[in-house]
Structure formats: C-alpha cells, structure tokens
Homo-oligomer: A and B are copies of this chain.
Amino acid sequence: MSRAPAHTTAFHAVADPTRRAILELLRDREQAASELTEPFETSQSAVSQHLAVLRRAKLVTRRRDGRRQLYSVCPEPLRAVADWIAQFDQFWDQKTDDLEK
C-alpha cells in the first residue's frame, strides 16, 4: 500500500482548530471564501491557505460563481479518521461489557 503524504491526510487537516471551524461553517451550507473569512480574526489570505489545505485533503470542493469561489464540505475523507477511531470502540464500551458479565 502506498501512503498518502501526511500533509494531505484528513488527520492532518482537522488537527487545526481554524480548519475545523471552517468545516463546521460549511456544514450548514455552501459558502464563499469571503464569507468564510468573516468569523475569524485572521486575514482573508490565511483562510484561503487553510482552504487550500482542506482542498488537498479533499475535504472541500469549490465551484466558481462569478468572481466568487463557493466552497462546500466533502466529508468523505473523515470516514478514514472515524474508521481508525472505531477500532478503539471496544475500550470505552469495556465498562458496559464488564457490567453485563
């Protein structure tokens, strides 16, 4: 199996709190880059760079609308993270399991 470069993985992308907040905003609806900038205290450029990271991780897609770029969330790669975490499920269910015995 060939490994994806670490910096393109969902694990890496969601490690940053600003990027997580961006994904949360996009959860509600498709949104333009400028709209995504407003909630943050950082520059529009910084947000654009975060969007580029999310795009490399395939967590967002964009489409053009006139001079705006509309971003939408694309959570499929999060499944890899969820699946990875799922392998630890038995652990936090252990208490329940123990009670049942």
Contacts from A to B (Cβ < 8 Å):
3, 6, 11-12, 14-17, 20, 23-24, 27, 73, 75-76, 78-79, 81-82, 84-88, 91-92
- Asked whether, in the complex, the Cβ of A11 is within 8 Å of the Cβ of B20, the reply is yes
Q: Is the interface of A mostly helix, strand, loop or mixed?
A: helix
Q: Which of B15, B81, B88, B92 is in CB contact (< 8 Å) with A85?
A: B81
Residues in B with CB closer than 8 Å to A76 are 92
- Asked whether, in the complex, the Cβ of A20 is within 8 Å of the Cβ of B92, the reply is no
Q: How far is the CA of A11 from the CA of B23 in the complex (A)?
A: 14
Q: How far is the CA of A4 from the CA of B90 in the complex (A)?
A: 26
- Asked whether, in the complex, the Cβ of A88 is within 8 Å of the Cβ of B78, the reply is yes
